[in-house]
Amino acid sequence: MSYSISISKRLEAIGAKEGSRLSVASRGKTFVGTLMPHHEFSGEDIIILKLSSGYNIGIRILEDSDIKVLGQPAPVLKRDILLEKKAGLPNITIIGTGGTISSAADPKTGAMQPQHSSAEFVSGIQEITDIANITVKAAMAIFSENMNADRWKDLAEAVAEEMNNGADGVVIMHGTDTMGYTASALSFMLGDVPKPVVLVGAQRSPDRPSSDAPSNMTAAVRFCAKGGAAGVFVVMHEALGDDSFAVHLGTRARKMHTSRRDAFKSPNTGPFAVMDKDGNTTFKMEGRAVSEGKAAAATKMEKAVTLIQYYPGMDPKLFEDVIMKSKGIVISGTGLGHVGSDMIPLIRKAVAGGTIVVAASQCTEGTTSLNVYSTGREMLSAGVITVQDMLPETAYVKLMWALANSDDTDEAKRLMMTPLANEMSGRRVADV
């Protein structure tokens, strides 16, 4: 319950636990209610009760406060949830990793639980069970800021296994903060995966009636079930309403807003497809057809790769240690991909030591080019490579993968500069 030590002791001494019905008399007032867990920001001397009106209140406990247990909570029975199989529907596996889409408040205490039972959540979305035969698996239960290369590996292997065991598509429930990174990692690890793999998240948790989780999930399952294209994608709201959805290429999706439902955009390319509330899908570009091949996961990753954002006045001395320890560096540079001249000697030294230095742009939209200005030309001379309009975070993930899946630096560089999963392009359409 995480109450302070002194409060916990008093509660334990009288046998009070979360859910117990208590009478608390303090400072001349008496309240009767159900004991709630402590809130992180609640005062140390506060006990939280849920009154019969439904309101929670915090009561300050003093030495002479009187706390009595009036009753104990009845045990809650958990029921198994079985999803029926229907003939003629495609088989879709939903893998849970955590994040907002997989979190929910405990209905009794209101505490946010790190893991909502994936099966429970999915069975609440009646629509998807009419679209596909759904199998739910929980791979992990973490907030997406805690994702890393090892977890990408686990996830890629889980996807390949599901697909090779007959799944017609795999949907991954993921926290939105780093969903773009994971989508990129899976794009490179799974290569020419034969079926759709869709990452889906939510900006409002499923315990809220207004959650975007059910509609995003429905759109994701529909996209998989239609089998319109193979590859790794991200599906989220296209706009603020619950009636339009965007399907993004895994290597192109980026979270562009901290809280809006339509936070995900595809800079430079726009979405791969859009879908309306009834599932009608409009493809905006040509995709790779679904096939019957096997899925294979190339999951090796070089972890000594860093992603650095250049800023005016960046002091090379502060970064020397980091840069010299890295086997690959992506610099999110200014404009066309620049860093200040002060940084160039350090970059030259790193390249000479065998480090790959990739220039990307913090502009997000547009391509990089180091040929236009003298600083850029100096960077090229120092050995920096550019990767067209690849997003900095995609470049970071790809560099980890390229270093680990090539025999030498040159091959890794060549991989970096070759499009593998639609992550880069030499052509951007004039949006006029």
Residues forming the site for another protein (CB under 8 A): 26-29, 36, 39, 41-43, 46, 48, 51-60, 79, 104-107, 110-112, 120-121, 123-127, 203-204, 206-211, 214-215, 240-243, 258-261, 277
DSSP single-letter state for residue 367? -
Q: Least distance in Å: CB of 329 to another protein?
A: 34
Q: Least distance in Å: CB of 111 to another protein?
A: 8
Residue 204 or 226 with smaller CB distance to another protein: 204
Catalytic residue at 176? yes
User: Considering only CA atoms, which of 19, 239, 38, 214 is closest in space to residue 123?
Assistant: 214
Contacts of 34 (CB under 8 A, 6+ apart): 19, 20, 21, 22, 49, 50, 73
Q: Cβ distance 48 to 39 under 8 Å? A: yes
Which one is catalytic: 50, 255, 327, 398?
Answer: 255
Structure tokens given for 74? 């009845």
Contacts of 163 (CB under 8 A, 6+ apart): 170, 193, 194, 195, 294, 295
Q: Least distance in Å: CB of 3 to another protein?
A: 13
Which one is catalytic: 177, 212, 262, 389?
Answer: 177
Q: Least distance in Å: CB of 144 to another protein?
A: 17
Residue 15 or 28 with smaller CB distance to another protein: 28
Q: Least distance in Å: CB of 236 to another protein?
A: 13
- Burial environment of residue 401 by CB neighbours within 10 A (0 to 12, 13 to 18, 19 or more): buried
Residue 46 or 344 with smaller CB distance to another protein: 46
Residue 264 or 401 with smaller CB distance to another protein: 264
Which one is catalytic: 176, 269, 355, 368?
Answer: 176
Residue 88 or 209 with smaller CB distance to another protein: 209
Catalytic residue at 100? yes
Q: Least distance in Å: CB of 245 to another protein?
A: 12
The helix or strand, by DSSP H or E, that contains position 426, with its residue range, turns out to be none
Give long-range contacts, CB 8 A cutoff, 24+ apart: 210-215. 212/236, 212/237, 212/242, 212/261, 213/100, 213/101, 213/121, 214/124, 214/125, 214/127, 215/242, 215/245, 215/277
- Report the first-to-last Cα separation within the chain, whole angstroms: 58
Which one is catalytic: 34, 97, 100, 129?
Answer: 100
Q: Cβ distance 377 to 359 under 8 Å? A: no
What is the distance between the alpha carbons of residues 177 and 193, in angstroms, rounded to a whole number?
A: 24
Residue 19 or 214 with smaller CB distance to another protein: 214
Q: In Å, how far are 23, 60, 167, 197 from 47, measured between CA atoms?
A: 11, 7, 50, 47
Catalytic residues: 100, 176-177, 255
